[in-house]
Structure 1
Amino acid sequence: MNRFCGSGLQSIVSRAQSIALGEANVIVADGTENMSLSPHILRGTCFGSPSKVPIVDDMLWETLKDNYVGCGMGMTAENLAVKYSISTIELSDSRTKSELSLKNIFFPAFLSYICSLVLRIKLVSNLT
């Protein structure tokens, strides 16, 4: 997969599709993301750039930047924290509560979905 976000999950989805299409019976799938290795492009440097600094396009910045306001997505949280006087401790506490809530609500449902998806795929592949 060659995407910035979601490529880890896409590898699992693609493997599930392979089972559904009968291309395999069992597949081990895993996925990670490495956004720090997104490409950079040096414009106008085909023949060198002897008298000027080349223009650098950072694909990660261009993808994650909100062009309407001109800043990266991470800066939105920083700007709101300053605007509403939210401390890092308050943010950390809120994040922890949110993560625990997500873990307790979403994760069991996600596992249930993945398990039922695998069972359905196996049933369909056994019928054909």
Structure 2
Amino acid sequence: MKLILDSSRCTGCKSCELACAGFHANAFDPGRSRIRIVNDPYQGESLINVCRNCPDHPCVSTCQFDACTYNERTGFVEVHDEVCTRCNACVAACSYDAVFLDPMTELPLICDGCSGIPRCVPFCYKEAIRLE
């Protein structure tokens, strides 16, 4: 399973951010989302920023505490909050700037595919985010 991103279809509504934060943090706070929409007012574009699941998973390999792992079943990276030391090595390792910090807990936020059922997908009415 893989998230397919098509920024050309994104309207910048940020419904995906709210769905993500609602599911993971039980709060409709885009700052606690694992997906971010970046609106460029000059170009009139909206870019979808989320974990791309790099083949070598640098966020996983850089974590010295095994707080970041790759889940073979879901095909997504997971952060184990109870093990994380908040060293932010995973943030620095991400070449896509798709590892965010939760403003409340300061824990890293990486798209984990919601345990195999990404909650953002049904809320993207333009299908800029879809599952394949």
The structure richer in strand per residue is: 2
Give the structure with the larger helix fraction: 1
TM-score for the superposition, normalised by structure 2? 0.18
Larger radius of gyration: 1
